[in-house]
Structure 1
């Protein structure tokens, strides 16, 4: 057993990151200053989009995207049940109705065939989630969106640095959200961003994150003087700070290095587990290159004599910080109270019963990786039928 606890995910900050924050603390702007725009420029340049709008967190960014897309009461938005609740909650924030579409049992991403089945005259948008960092089937999703005149908002919280058919995720759909929570590829502490090539969405997002207020002279109905501004709709205070943005700029310089290490660790896991009949390793879609936010094993419950819970607890006892991603959103109490039913997403629910997330983050040493592998193999050997 390990002597110290190994979390499933963790940020990696160095002296350059710390100094970037210190420089802001010694400067003139802590909140809404020029560093935010610099950070947005860096993100847009990296993913290849025209625009990027930073938010206080990824959930706020998704909320903003739904608002900019014009989603409102009566509109339906299709998303996956295998995701964090924010992918669905953002629709509820603007009054829309969440429609869940089941997953592809190989990739664990939303199944385009299921999306097509769920479309009605009220469907307004699709929110595909690049689960674990593996891109969803965007060609098929975009074809569906074009056919039905729908907006596509990618939830790419897991997928900064991922590629779809040789192009980085971030400029392929109407809007794309990235998260900068500490367990993600780079961190700003908390933070999120929407990237887009659409100028209308860009301006809506900017205004939405700051109370619905504008100072643009061309947008004002009247102008009392240089100080004048107008609040034109009910927005929110979802602004990022310069402190966060400075950390983000510094972290982005290391993003490719971080992603490369995640891919290296995932390959070591794949090689160690690929012939183990007690589990299934992740399947990568042919069109995508994952950025490996998460490494998830699916237990072969027919080959072991205990439940997922018992394996999970045994690994925790070995100081291996496993987790489960995710409890299907439609089974959570809030959504159950809205009328969503267990049993309605059979593939997602079957997956949930068997998955365990293993530690994966760039700061892991090779010894850490071997500890995880040895612990998993040892615990599965004990309960193998």
Structure 2
């Protein structure tokens, strides 16, 4: 086997943030100001997210996992209530359901895109209906890699079955889905989903260090989510139940008073994080366009490795702001294991990752639900490998990665 040439440049991780001087200035301004925790930068970031998604409400929170957990809590899942979740996703999508007291019904995915589409959702609903368990309450589709699942079709099936749809858009800020009229709409617009969850981890298109958010068009849900992210506390006078404790003898509200009608969590986000997020949101279109351009270049540069290597299937329902650039690789046909490919790429200064181990294969879920047969998820997992993709990459970085992969696979 040929020896891979040592790194010809700086190490390229599979993903990373792009922080510019104006981002640093925005955070510095908050550090010099009066607010560090929840203050005006949080509200400004929420307004910017509403503008970008066209949603009526945005509720910023600590991270994407917190967003999913808050959404699951807002569904008021009773013990035994079931929620459909695609198995090809990060752990948090399923864990949010369990943390809220519900049970997970794992759905299969398209073997070539990793997305749960209508056939896989319908199959999961059919299996769930035939199995013992509590009522089906919701479905959590995932916009994997930045590609949107067919949201109108999924929403129609969910509505037909009386299910609430909450989409996991942790990968998809800046992505657009194709509406029934053929026009594209921003993910998170609230037209078809009760709630949409976002993540702003550093490897995502928009970085806040850690950070997340939910968007919704439902006024009552927005208010509930705001309370749940802050211990379940209520400070609005009109909502107080114990009037004798809340008000002074002259009828004025006691200035220290608050109530907690239900248990919530401290899932608040800080002004420091939101100052960075707000600065980054101004660059969303530029970052998304750069990621699309880099993905297109990868497609061209790797075309010669087909059929051994090919991009994941492209969704006709989506205009993706690519979060990651995954490939499907026939490792057996190449005569080399995935672990060995990753090791040899790393030796050449190139990071890679696998997105994801199907969640139904995790020990916790296998103990709870047994060994499930989800062949699409299994086939996708066995072939996928994510190459470096981030807004700070240059064309030459893509060319370097493509050349290194070809050499690792013996096609250089």
Find the aligned partners of 1:14 and 1:286 in 2 and give their Cα distance: 34
**Matched residue, 1:373:** 402
- Name the SS of the counterpart of 1:90 in structure 2: helix
**Matched residue, 1:102:** 108
Q: Which moved more, 1:28-37 or 1:275-284?
A: 275-284
Larger radius of gyration: 2
**Matched residue, 1:74:** 80
Give the CA deviation at 1:312: 1.9
Q: Does 1:246 align with 2:275?
A: yes
CA contact (8 A) 1:133 1:290 kept: yes
Find the aligned partners of 2:348 and 2:357 in 1 and give their Cα distance: 24
Q: Residues 35-57 of structure 1, C-alpha deviation per residue, up to 9 Å, x if partnerless?
A: 11111010011100000000001
Give the CA deviation at 1:302: 5.1
Q: Does 1:149 align with 2:162?
A: yes
Relative to the length of structure 2, the TM-score reads: 0.90
**Matched residue, 1:347:** 376
Q: Residues 60-88 of structure 1, C-alpha deviation per residue, up to 9 Å, x if partnerless?
A: 01100111122231110001111110010
Find the aligned partners of 1:295 and 1:368 in 2 and give their Cα distance: 13
- Taking only aligned residues, the RMSD between alpha carbons, in angstroms, comes to 1.4
**Matched residue, 2:186:** 168
Find the aligned partners of 1:160 and 1:357 in 2 and give their Cα distance: 19
Unmatched segments (≥5 aa) in structure 2: 1-5, 179-183, 248-253
Q: Does 1:299 align with 2:322?
A: no
Give the CA deviation at 1:59: 0.3
Query: Runs of 4+ in structure 1 displaced over 4 angstroms?
Result: none
Find the aligned partners of 2:135 and 2:117 in 1 and give their Cα distance: 20
- Name the SS of the counterpart of 2:333 in structure 1: coil
Q: Does 1:20 align with 2:38?
A: no
Find the aligned partners of 1:47 and 1:376 in 2 and give their Cα distance: 37
Map 1:154-233 → 2, pairs under 5 A: 154-165=167-178, 166-171=184-189, 172=191, 173-221=193-241, 222=243, 223-224=246-247, 225-233=254-262
Unmatched segments (≥5 aa) in structure 1: none
Q: Does 1:263 align with 2:292?
A: yes
Find the aligned partners of 2:348 and 2:377 in 1 and give their Cα distance: 28
The equivalent position to 1:287 in structure 2, one of 301, 317, 338, is 317
- Name the SS of the counterpart of 1:327 in structure 2: coil
Q: Residues 182-224 of structure 1, C-alpha deviation per residue, up to 9 Å, x if partnerless?
A: 0001111100000000111101100000000011111111223
**Matched residue, 1:57:** 63
**Matched residue, 1:324:** 354
Q: For residues 230 and 26 of structure 1, do their structure 2 counterparts lie closer, same or farther at Cα, with a shift above 3 Å needed?
A: same
Relative to the length of structure 1, the TM-score reads: 0.96
**Matched residue, 2:50:** 44
Q: Residues 263-302 of structure 1, C-alpha deviation per residue, up to 9 Å, x if partnerless?
A: 0100000111224221121221112111110111111245
Q: Which moved more, 1:210-219 or 1:299-308?
A: 299-308
Give the CA deviation at 1:23: 0.7
**Matched residue, 2:251:** none
Find the aligned partners of 2:344 and 2:219 in 1 and give their Cα distance: 52
CA contact (8 A) 1:323 1:357 kept: yes
- Name the SS of the counterpart of 1:99 in structure 2: strand
**Matched residue, 1:90:** 96
CA contact (8 A) 1:331 1:340 kept: no
**Matched residue, 2:121:** 115
**Matched residue, 1:129:** 142
CA contact (8 A) 2:336 2:409 kept: no
Find the aligned partners of 1:314 and 1:371 in 2 and give their Cα distance: 14
